[in-house]
Amino acid sequence: MSRYERWNAILELLAREGRLSVERAAEALDVSAATIRRDFDQLAQQQMLMRTRGGAVAQSVSYDLPLRYKTARHADEKQRIAEAAAALVAPGAIVGMNGGTTTSEVARALAVRADPEAGFTIVTNALNIAAELTVRQNVKIVVTGGVARPQSYELIGPLASEVLERVTLDIAFLGVDAIDADGGAWAHHEGEASVNHLLIRRAAEVVVVADASKIGRRAFARICTLDAVGTLVTDEGLSDEAAARFTDAGVKVVRA
């Protein structure tokens, strides 16, 4: 288990239990107590938990983890989701996407599938996606302006909005922190939610890409209601009952 995977596991335990001792964490993760103490100290320095005597308590009820820590979560599911999502893009399309681990996988899958002659255009506010695909000769990258959030590498603010107001998209892939059939799609940060809302407004087709762990939940800021979403691409962990709720709301569900 890598350090980032271990940190993810610690924070998920804290989210469930609220308080965690060094011994409990060491037993759950099958590592030494010394390793857990170092992990607790480093996470406390980043204000992701609060140290107590012999353990740690949750800093908040919901964690907006930096993107580099999220990458290891549900990696296989995200790759399958990305392949299914990329298959929805026609050659030469203008594609919008926000930041996140799942949309980053979609960008990689698109780069592999891209027609060498037609190619495609990606409009994004995600610095990591732009940097990774800039070297691809068959991909045109359009990056919004804005202020970068280190947690997600997304550009937010009025400069990002100004660029998005001037473009039209054939399809937009929306990564979310949570989505539910009643409330719609959600983000932890209100600035990201605002830019993401504008991104999907510019698109003829909107596809949410999210693994099953994010479905049936809500986060702080709403991106859009469900009537703005045409397709949900997720993994086989989504139950038939949950899928039916989205289908009843007019959303096509693809389980990869």
* pLDDT computed for residue 16 by the predictor: 74
Helix 3-17 crosses helix 33-45 at what angle (to 10 degrees)? 80
**CA-to-CA dists, residue 60 to 64, 103, 233, angstroms:** 10, 26, 29
Q: What's the pLDDT score for residue 67? A: 52
pLDDT at 74: 65
- pLDDT surpasses 90 at 135: no
> Is there a contact between 134 and 128 (Cβ–Cβ < 8 Å)?
no
pLDDT at 173 > cutoff 90: yes
Averaged pLDDT, 170-179: 96
The pLDDT score that the predictor gives to residue 65 is 52
Task: State the Cα–Cα distance between residues 207 and 187, nearest whole angstrom.
Answer: 16
Q: Which residues pair with 172 in a beta bridge?
A: 96, 206
pLDDT tens digits for range 181-213 = 999 999 989 999 999 999 999 999 999 999 999
Strands annotated E in the chain: 19-21, 49-52, 55-58, 94-97, 120-124, 139-143, 147-149, 154-156, 171-175, 178-180, 184-187, 206-209, 221-224, 231-234, 252-255
Report, as an integer, the average pLDDT of 165-194: 95
CA distance 232 to 13: 28
What's the mean pLDDT in 214-241? 95
Across the strands, what pairs with 56? 20, 51
Is the predicted pLDDT of residue 153 greater than 50, yes or no?
yes
Q: Is the pLDDT of residue 8 over 80?
A: no
